[in-house]
Amino acid sequence: MVKLPTMTVIGGGIGGLTCALAWQAVGGRVSVFERSVGPSEVGAGITLWPNAMVVLGRLGLTEKLRAAGHELEEGVITDQRGRPLLRTPVGSVSRSLGSVSLGIHRATLLSILVEALAPGLIEYRKECVRTEDDGEGIVSRFRDGSAFRSDVLVAADGLRSEVFGQVHGTAPPRYAGYLCHRGIAQYAGEDVPAGTAFEAWGRGLRFGLVRLDQERVYWFSNESAPEPETRIEPDLSRLRRVFSSWRAPIPAVLAAADPASVLLHPIFDRPFRRDRQGRGQLTFVGDAAHPMTPDLGQGACQAIEDAAELSDCLARVADPEMALRAYESHRFPRVNRMVRRSRFQGFVSQHSTWIGCLLRNTIIRCTPERLLTASFRDLVAPAIRPTRDDSH
């Protein structure tokens, strides 16, 4: 029987927490260090597709997630006036893959993950500033002067990963060409039907909605723009003006949006390179390894897949270093494809010339629905097999 290495996880986001849960589930010892003061209560919504739900199902979380989230039946894309471009049968595809797709508040997802961890495994206010191999293991050093040693270290510290910077030097992420506002609105209107995730595409502008429950919707708006040189603040009043003539219910949802919930981020990704993976007994997961644009809603889902693959490799391969390299080489082709596919989707949906948008919309309308559905199925198909828990 393989002696399980001890694991330190830097970062208590979706990727880090799922890694810790997956390692806990196979009987491994794990400690999570998160720099913020507690579980995040901010953030907007997030979609979890079958490829992530299957992993979370293995961790016994299906029922809690289904109770807290909103099951998606259909994805709809229209132009800004509401003329249909594409309909995706999300629910039936998800069920055919043995799972479901959910819209859920990010803070709710994080709290479900934290609650599933054994008490005391996560420490807050612990910012990792350095890691080193001292011959007996990997030592994480924290801003408060403390240190912690384990057999393997998993850096799950997000897009601007401190650990990634130490290992590979500065590798700034690549700006994707657009800014994303997102937030939550108290909106019970029936023009956001239950189970529908909806997007409207214009010229260099996009608006999306996902119902979170009967009362609330998660909304986002993307706007093509040069990379900001300084910090930018959300501007809900401007958004209300920009989208005032767009299809219903966009103006009404923006009118109902809670200004305190609105976030604004420039969007980045980073091409995933073979020479920019882990070293020794250290590896990366989630956005620290492979930030991708949100255009396919796959960033967190891929972080969740990383967690499953990492724990499988560490539990199977006796030498931890070899296990980490096996994890990286298994994940490399799939996440690289996701990074590229997300960026391409962003390029298409954020296109801003009149003729380009006309061409885009015409091509989508003329593409047989079964091809588009097959492409969606390929995107969200689990990389691991479902278990009985996944769909019940």
Among 125, 265, 316, 337, indicate the residue that binds ligand FAD (CB under 6 A). Answer: 265
Q: Please provide the DSSP assignment of 77-130 as one string.
A: EEETT--EEEEE-HHHHHHHTTS--EEEEHHHHHHHHHHHSPTT-EESS--EEE
Interface mask toward ligand FAD for 99-138; x: CB under 6 A:
----------------------------xx----------
Q: How far is the CB of 3 from ligand FAD (least distance, A)?
A: 27
Q: Which of residues 176-215 bind ligand FAD (CB under 6 A)?
A: 180, 182
Contact 155, 283 (CB under 8 A): yes
Q: How far is the CB of 284 from ligand FAD (least distance, A)?
A: 9
Q: Which is nearer to ligand FAD, 243 or 361 (CB)?
A: 243
Binding of ligand FAD by 50 (CB under 6 A): no
Among 4, 7, 9, 14, indicate the residue that binds ligand FAD (CB under 6 A). Answer: 14
Among 36, 96, 244, 353, indicate the residue that binds ligand FAD (CB under 6 A). Answer: 36
The length of the chain in residues reads 392
Among 15, 50, 183, 234, indicate the residue that binds ligand FAD (CB under 6 A). Answer: 15
The separation between the first and the last C-alpha atoms of the chain, rounded to the nearest angstrom, is: 32
Q: Which of residues 219-238 bind ligand FAD (CB under 6 A)?
A: 220
Binding of ligand FAD by 349 (CB under 6 A): no
Contact 327, 283 (CB under 8 A): yes
The stretch near ligand FAD (CB under 6 A) out of 30-38, 269-277, 310-318, 329-337 is 30-38
Binding of ligand FAD by 72 (CB under 6 A): no
Binding of ligand FAD by 301 (CB under 6 A): yes
Q: In angstroms, what is the C-alpha Rg of the chain?
A: 21
Binding of ligand FAD by 298 (CB under 6 A): yes
Tokens of 74: 């259909």
Q: 3-state DSSP call for residue 356? A: helix
319 Cβ neighbours under 8 A, 6+ residues apart: none
Q: 3-state DSSP call for residue 46? A: strand
Q: How far is the CB of 140 from ligand FAD (least distance, A)?
A: 8
320 Cβ neighbours under 8 A, 6+ residues apart: 5, 151, 152, 281, 314
Contact 45, 51 (CB under 8 A): no
The stretch near ligand FAD (CB under 6 A) out of 6-14, 82-90, 185-193, 310-318 is 6-14
Contact 42, 357 (CB under 8 A): no
Applying CB under 6 A, the residues found at the interface with ligand FAD are 10-16, 33-36, 46-47, 127-128, 156-159, 162, 180, 182, 220, 265, 286-288, 294, 297-301, 303
